[in-house]
C-alpha cells in the first residue's frame, strides 16, 4: 500500500512538473498578494502580531488556490476512473496527501522567505518554535484540504465550494497556528505555546484518521 | 473468474435504469450485455467492475475457488471503454511504466514494447498520448486493461474507433482471455455478439 501510494505521488509530481497547473497559479498568487500587502502597508508600521495574522491569511488563501488540484485535475481530465481501476482508495488518498503535503511545505517555505525578506517588522525570535508551528500547520492544512478536495471534485461549483468548506474545517488550526506563531515571533516562553501545539497535534491526528475512514465512501460513487 | 449477479438494479436519482437483473458468468466464458443506446449496458458493466454501486441486489466474485474481496477487485479486472481516459500528458511507454509501478509489477522496457507490439502501436512514439488518434488511444486502453493479465476482462464497445486490424487485435485478446479467464462485453455490434457464448439484454429488465 505504501509503495502504491508513493507511485501515485510520483505520478502526480511528474504530471505537475510537466503541466505546471498548480505551481504557476500558486507562485503568481503569492507574489501578487505580497505585492498588494506591501503597497497597502507602504510607510505604515504594523505590530508583529498583526503581521503574523497576515502571514497565515496568505498561507490559507494560497492553499485554497492550489491544493484542490490534486483531485480536481483527475476529475477534469477524466482520469478518476483510471485511478480507481489502478489503486486501492487508501493508496490514492495517501499518495494525494503526500503530494499536497510536499506542495504546501514548498509553498509555505516560499511565502515565509518572501515575508522575511519584504516585511522588515516581521522578526522571528524563536526560530525553532516557529518552524515547528509551520510544519504542524502545513501538515494540518494538507490533511484537511486533501479530503475536502476529494469531496468537492465532482461538484459543479468546485472553485467556490473549496474555500467555503475548508474555512470552518481549518478554523481551529488557523486559530492555534496564529496564536503559536505570534508566541514564536514575540519571544514568549515555550510553556505558553504548549496548549496550541497540543491542539495542532490533535487536529492533525483527528483529521487524518477521519479522512482515511471517509475516503472510501467519497472515492467510490 | 466467476461472477454472480443477484437481483441487481440501478436508479439514477429516482429514474430506474434497470431492475432485478440476475446472471452468472462462468470462468472461460465470453458473456455479452446488449441493449439499445441508453438502456444501461455501460452502467451494468461499471457495476460489475466495482466502479458504481448498485441501487439494489448484490454481486459476488470468486477466483480459484475463493471469494474476491471487493477492495481488491481492481487487481482482478481489466477494463476497456471509450470513456476511460488515460494520462494524456505522458507517452505510451511512460503510461505503461506508471501502471506497472502503481500495480507493483516488475516491468522492463522490453515488456512494454512487447505489449505495444501486441496491440499494434508504434514503438518509437515518444510524444504524449494526447497526440494519438482516437484509434490509437483505444489501443492504449487495451494495454491498460491487459498489462496485469487480469482474470476478468470487461469490454465496453471494444471495437469503437478501431480499424480492421485493431478489431482483429481485440478479438485475438478476447480469444486469449477466454482460455484463462472471463470476458464480459457490453455491445450492440453484431460481430462482438457473435463472439459471445451467451448474452443478456438490459432492455428486458
What's the fold here for domain B2-204?
Answer: Rossmann fold (3.40.50)
Which residue do the cell numbers 509553498 mark? Answer: A107
Do B169 and B142 contact (CB within 8 A), yes or no? Answer: yes
Whether residue A50 is predicted with pLDDT greater than 70 in this model: the reply is yes
Interface test with B, best of A7, A8, A85, A212 (most B CBs within 10 A): A85
In tens, the pLDDT along B165-203 reads: 888 888 888 888 888 889 999 998 888 888 888 988 887
Percent of chain B with pLDDT over 70: 99
Higher pLDDT, A20 or A105: A105
Grid cell at residue A172: 481551529
A11 vs B50, B79, B98: nearest CB = B98
What is the per-residue pLDDT for A8?
93
pLDDT digit string (tens) for A126-136?
888 889 999 99
With an 8 Å Cβ cutoff, are B87 and A11 in contact? yes
Contact B153, B77 (CB under 8 A): yes
DSSP A79: -
pLDDT tens digits, A184-213:
888 777 778 888 999 999 999 999 999 999
Among A66-70, B33-37, B38-42, B126-130, the minimum mean pLDDT is found in A66-70
CA distance A20 to chain B (A): 11
Q: A12 CA to chain B: closest CA distance, Å?
A: 10
Contacts of B106 in chain A (CB under 8 A): none
| Position B46 confidence tier, pLDDT thresholds 50, 70, 90 | very high
- What's residue B64's pLDDT? 79
R_g of chain A computed on alpha carbons: 18
Read off the pLDDT of each residue in A29-54 and give the average, rounded to a whole number.
84
Mean pLDDT, all residues of chain B: 88
Q: Show which of residues 174-203 on chain B sit within 8 Å of chain A, judged by CB atoms.
A: none
Q: How far apart are CA B108 and CA B65, in angstroms?
A: 32
Burial of residue A220 (number of CB atoms within 10 Å: 0-12, 13-18, 19+): middle
Q: Residues 36-55, chain B: which have Cβ within 8 Å of A?
A: 49-53
Output Rg (C-alpha) for chain B, integer angstroms.
Answer: 17
CB distance A79–B102 less than 8 Å? no
What distance in Å separates residue A70's CA from the closest CA in chain B?
14
Amino acid at each position: 500500500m505504501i509503495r502504491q501510494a508513493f507511485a501515485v505521488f510520483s505520478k502526480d509530481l511528474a504530471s505537475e512538473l510537466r503541466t505546471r497547473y498548480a505551481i504557476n497559479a500558486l507562485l503568481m498568487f503569492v507574489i501578487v498578494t505580497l505585492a498588494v500587502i506591501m503597497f497597502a502597508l507602504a510607510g505604515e508600521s504594523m505590530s508583529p502580531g498583526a503581521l503574523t495574522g497576515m502571514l497565515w491569511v496568505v498561507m490559507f488563501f494560497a492553499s485554497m488556490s492550489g491544493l484542490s488540484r490534486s483531485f480536481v485535475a483527475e476529475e477534469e481530465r477524466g482520469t478518476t476512473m483510471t485511478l480507481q481501476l489502478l489503486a486501492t482508495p487508501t493508496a490514492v488518498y495517501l499518495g494525494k496527501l503526500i503530494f499536497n503535503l510536499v506542495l504546501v511545505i514548498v509553498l509555505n517555505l516560499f511565502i515565509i522567505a518572501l515575508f522575511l525578506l519584504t516585511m522588515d517588522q516581521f522578526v522571528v525570535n524563536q526560530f525553532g518554535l516557529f518552524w515547528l508551528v509551520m510544519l504542524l500547520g502545513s501538515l494540518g492544512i494538507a490533511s484537511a484540504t486533501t479530503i475536502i478536495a476529494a469531496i468537492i471534485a465532482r461538484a459543479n461549483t468546485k472553485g467556490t465550494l473549496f474555500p467555503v468548506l475548508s474555512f470552518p474545517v481549518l478554523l481551529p488550526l488557523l486559530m492555534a497556528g496564529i496564536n503559536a506563531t505570534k508566541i514564536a515571533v514575540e519571544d514568549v516562553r515555550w510553556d505558553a505555546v504548549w496548549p496550541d501545539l497540543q491542539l495542532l497535534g490533535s487536529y492533525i491526528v483527528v483529521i487524518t484518521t477521519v479522512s482515511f475512514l471517509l475516503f472510501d465512501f467519497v472515492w467510490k460513487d | 473468474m466467476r461472477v454472480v449477479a443477484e437481483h441487481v438494479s440501478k436508479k439514477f436519482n429516482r429514474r430506474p435504469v434497470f431492475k432485478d437483473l440476475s446472471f452468472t458468468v462462468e470462468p472461460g466464458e465470453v458473456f455479452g450485455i446488449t441493449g439499445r443506446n441508453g438502456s444501461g449496458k455501460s452502467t451494468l458493466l461499471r457495476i460489475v467492475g466495482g466502479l458504481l454501486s448498485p441501487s439494489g441486489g448484490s454481486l459476488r466474485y470468486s477466483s480459484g475457488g475463493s471469494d474476491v474481496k471487493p477492495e481488491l477487485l481492481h487487481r482482478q479486472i481489466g477494463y476497456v471503454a471509450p470513456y476511460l481516459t488515460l494520462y494524456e500528458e505522458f507517452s505510451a511507454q511512460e503510461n505503461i511504466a506508471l501502471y506497472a509501478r502503481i500495480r507493483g509489477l516488475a516491468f522492463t522496457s522490453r515488456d512494454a514494447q512487447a505489449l505495444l507490439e501486441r496491440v499494434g502501436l508504434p514503438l518509437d512514439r515518444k510524444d504524449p498520448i494526447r497526440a494519438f488518434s482516437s484509434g490509437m488511444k483505444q489501443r492504449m486502453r487495451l494495454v491498460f486493461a491487459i498489462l496485469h493479465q487480469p482474470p476478468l476482462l470487461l469490454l465496453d464497445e471494444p471495437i469503437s474507433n478501431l480499424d480492421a486490424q485493431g478489431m482483429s487485435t481485440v478479438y485475438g485478446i478476447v480469444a486469449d482471455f477466454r482460455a484463462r479467464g472471463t470476458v464480459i462485453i457490453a455491445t450492440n455490434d453484431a460481430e462482438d455478439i457473435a463472439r459471445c457464448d451467451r448474452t443478456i439484454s438490459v432492455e428486458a429488465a
